[in-house]
Structure 1
Amino acid sequence: MPLSFWGKTLMKFILSMAVVSFAMPLSAFAQDQGHNHGGSPYAGFEAREIKSLSDQDIAELRRGGGWGLALPAELNGLPGPAHLLELQEELALSSDQVAAITLIFEEMRAEAIAAGENFIAAEAAVSAAFEEADLTKEELAGLLARAAEARAALRLVHLSRHLATPALLSDEQVRKYSVLRGYSDDPCATVPEGHDPTMWRRHNGCDG
C-alpha cells in the first residue's frame, strides 16, 4: 500500500534523525581527540622536554609541593600541614602545635622532593622511550610500572602526613580549617530558624 504524504514525511524525519544520531558520537569523539578545526588542546606540548609534565608541574614537584595528590585526605576533613601553617593565626594554633606541625611539614617536604625527583625521572624515561622506533610493549610495561610506583610513593608521602595532623588539633580548629578553606559553611555566621542561639553557638563551638 503506497505511503501517504504524511507517512512519507514521517519516514524521512525518522531516517534523518537516525543519520544525525549516528554522526553525533563520531563528531564528539573527534572533538575530544582534538581533531576539530580549532586544533588540538595539546598544541605546544610537543616542545616539552617531558611530554607528560609541564614546566609548572616539574617546578611544583621539585619544591615538594602537593600537586593535588592529597585531595582524598584534604577534602575528607584531614588538614594538611602546609595549609595549617599558612592559617596558624586564624586557627589560633599554640606554639606547641606550630612546632609539631612544622616538623611534620619539613619531613614531608624533604621526602616529597626526593620522591618527586624519582617520579620526574620515571616520566622522563617514558617520554624518551617513545622517541625510539624499536620500543616494545614489554619494555613500555616496565617503564609504566616504575612510573606508577614512583607516583604512588609520592602520594603516600603527602597523604600520610594528613593522617598525623588531626590528633594535634581541637575539633573546633578542624571545623574552622574546613570553613577557611572553603569546604564548608561557617555554622557560627547565622543561627538557623527554630534554634536557640545560645545552644546553637555552644553546640558548634562558636565564640561568645
Structure 2
Amino acid sequence: MKPLPAALMTLGALLCMPAVHAQHAHGAHRPPSEAPQPGQASSPYAGMQDRAIKALSAQQLSELREGKGMSLALPAELNGYPGPSHTLELADRLELSNEQALRVKTLFAQMKQEAVTAGEAVIEAEQALDQLFKSRQATPDALKAGTTRAALAQGRLRESHLRYHLAVADVLSPAQIAAYSRLRGN
C-alpha cells in the first residue's frame, strides 16, 4: 500500500474538524446520567430565556428582595465574625445578655433594611443590563456603564452584609465569638 499524499491527508483532517468541534459544544461533556432525554433541550441554559431578568433566577430575585445574605458575607462568617441573623438564632446557646440581644436585634433590623434597598439596586442594575441586550442597544460604552453599575450595586450589597458582621463582633465577647464559630461548624 502506497502512503497517502500529504494533500489528501490534510484534506481528510480538515473534513474531520467539524465532528471534533461538535464534540466540544456546550453540554457535550455531560456524564451519561445527565445527558438530555428525548424531547429535552440540550442547552445548559434551557429555561433561562424565560426569566424576567436573564441573569437572576426567581430564587435570587426573592432573596435580594428579602435582604437575605446569599453567602455574600462568607469571608466574615468563616473567619470568626458572627452574622446578626445566626447570632440571634443561637442567642440562648451563646448566652447573650438582654442588652446584647437587643443590640444584635437592632443591627439585624438595620442590616435587613439596608440589604433590601441594596438588593433592589442590584435588581434594577441587572434589569437595565438585560434590557440593553434585549433592545439590541448594547455598545461597548453602554456595556461598560451597565456592568459598572451592576458591579457597584453588588459591591454595596456585599459591603453592607459584611459591615454588620463587624458590628456584631463588637457586641460579643471573645468567648461568645469562639462558641459561635464552634456552633456554626467554622
With normalisation by structure 1, the TM-score equals 0.70
Runs of 4+ that moved beyond 4 A: none
Give 1:1-208 correspondences, 5 Å limit: 30=25, 33-35=26-28, 38=36, 39-183=42-186
Q: Which moved more, 1:171-180 or 1:77-86?
A: 171-180
Please tell me whether Structure 1 or Structure 2 has the larger radius of gyration of its CA atoms.
1
**Given the superposition, is the C-alpha separation of residues 88 and 136 from structure 1 closer, same or farther in structure 2, using an over 3 Å criterion?**
same
Identity %: 45
- Structure 1 residues 91 and 140, CA, compared in 2 at 3 Å: closer, same or farther? same
Q: Aligned partners of 2:170, 2:120: CA distance in 1, in Å?
A: 30
1:93-142 deviation line (CA, Å, top 9, x unaligned): 11111001111111111111111101100001111111123421111111
Kindly state the Cα deviation for residue 35 of structure 1 after the two structures are TM-superposed: 4.8
Give RMSD over aligned pairs: 1.9
In the TM superposition, what is the alpha-carbon distance from 1:151 to its structure 2 partner? 0.6
Q: What runs of 5+ residues in structure 2 fail to find an aligned partner?
A: 1-19, 30-34, 37-41
How far apart are the structure 2 equivalents of 1:127 and 1:79? 35
Gaps of 5+ in 1: 1-22, 184-208
Following superposition, the deviation at residue 26 of structure 1 comes to 8.9
Q: Counterparts of 1:76 and 1:134 in 2: how far apart (Å)?
A: 43
Q: How many residues align?
A: 157
Per-residue deviation, 1:52: 0.7
Distance 2:125 2:165 in 1: 26
Please give the alpha-carbon distance, in whole angstroms, between the structure 1 residues aligned to 2:73 and 2:22.
36
